[in-house]
Structure 1
Amino acid sequence: MRTALRTLVTGVVATATVLTCSTAWATPPGPGVTARIISRTTVNGTDYTLREITVPPGQSTGWHYHDGPLYGVVEQGTLSHFDSGCAPDGVYRTGEAIREPAGADHVHIGRNLGTTPLVLDVLYVLPHGAPFSEDAPNPGCPFQ
């Protein structure tokens, strides 16, 4: 009897959750986006992490922002960068540098609109223990 009651309660809670909760607001990176840490150190409460990020053709980083500034170089391909107003705020080609400011008021997405993988080397300068990025909802742009 208890097992049947537990099963019933669990089913009701699961159904109510599915029916009443809205879609998750985070916009994760597209399929195949990868990152690997090249180097990492912490100095005076600040984490300095160098990562290589690869974005396949047609994919994106997802909408996000950072708790500290980022400095990057395009090693291969072309990065199309969009701000929260859906406007392109930069196109960066192989060898070009990019800087992303910190804070929730700097929501953005990086997209690979080309036909070759986009490879970025990125230096994250973050408060100790902060995540590499903070997910953000799509601000209403017709793309992801």
Structure 2
Amino acid sequence: MRIPGLPSLRPNAAPASGTASRVLAQFTVGGRDVLLRQTVIAPGGTSGWHYHDGTLLVLVARGTLDHPGADGAPVTYRRGRVFREPSGPEYPHVARNLGATPVTLFVLYLNPKGSPLSRHVSPPPGAD
């Protein structure tokens, strides 16, 4: 996915679609991988269902993010909102853009050393 004005963003791996990211900072300290990443989700784009091994702090810098969890309850975060994603397989979720403008996120990952950024899972029963 090419985002005009942001050529350094690279498409995210499947099952994500319509998303692209770039790493802004990365280091390891005290057994933790710390990574700051910018992600853009195009209209209709999705991360696919996943969870994280570590805690994430997320800033919605632009747009409106649809972010339901396993219970399917609607969760929406608008521009300027900061939220925390807890770690572990008991917290699966999806990040989607149901709007007409791109969503821009800045995400701080606090992962155990060597962990992937996310682990993809099948959608929970009844999830769309």
**Higher percent of residues as strand:** 2
State the match for 2:29 in structure 1: 43
Is the aligned partner of 1:120 residue 2:105? yes
1:131 to 116, 120, 128: 116
Return the offset for 1:142: 4.6
Is the aligned partner of 1:71 residue 2:68? no
The separation in 1 between residues aligned to 2:77 and 2:127, in whole angstroms, is 22
The separation in 2 between residues aligned to 1:127 and 1:142, in whole angstroms, is 29
- CA RMSD between the two structures: 1.2
Return the offset for 1:54: 0.7
**Higher percent of residues as helix:** 1
Question: What are the ranges of 5 or more consecutive residues in structure 1 without an aligned counterpart?
Answer: 1-26
Question: After the TM superposition, which parts of structure 1 deviate over 6 Å for at least 4 consecutive aligned residues?
Answer: none
TM-score normalised by length of structure 1: 0.76
The separation in 2 between residues aligned to 1:127 and 1:141, in whole angstroms, is 31
The separation in 2 between residues aligned to 1:82 and 1:40, in whole angstroms, is 28
1:29 to 11, 16, 21: 16
Question: What are the ranges of 5 or more consecutive residues in structure 2 without an aligned counterpart?
Answer: 1-13
Is the aligned partner of 1:96 residue 2:54? no
Return the offset for 1:140: 2.3
Return the offset for 1:111: 1.1
What is the number of residues matched between the two proteins?
A: 115
Report the secondary structure of 2:90's partner residue. Answer: helix
Q: Percent identity?
A: 43
Return the offset for 1:114: 0.7
Look at both structures and tell me which one has the larger radius of gyration over its CA atoms: 1
State the match for 1:140 in structure 2: 125
Report the secondary structure of 1:36's partner residue. Answer: strand
The separation in 2 between residues aligned to 1:93 and 1:51, in whole angstroms, is 18
Report the secondary structure of 1:106's partner residue. Answer: coil
Report the secondary structure of 2:44's partner residue. Answer: coil
Deviations 1:34-55 (A, max 9, x none): 1110000100110110000111
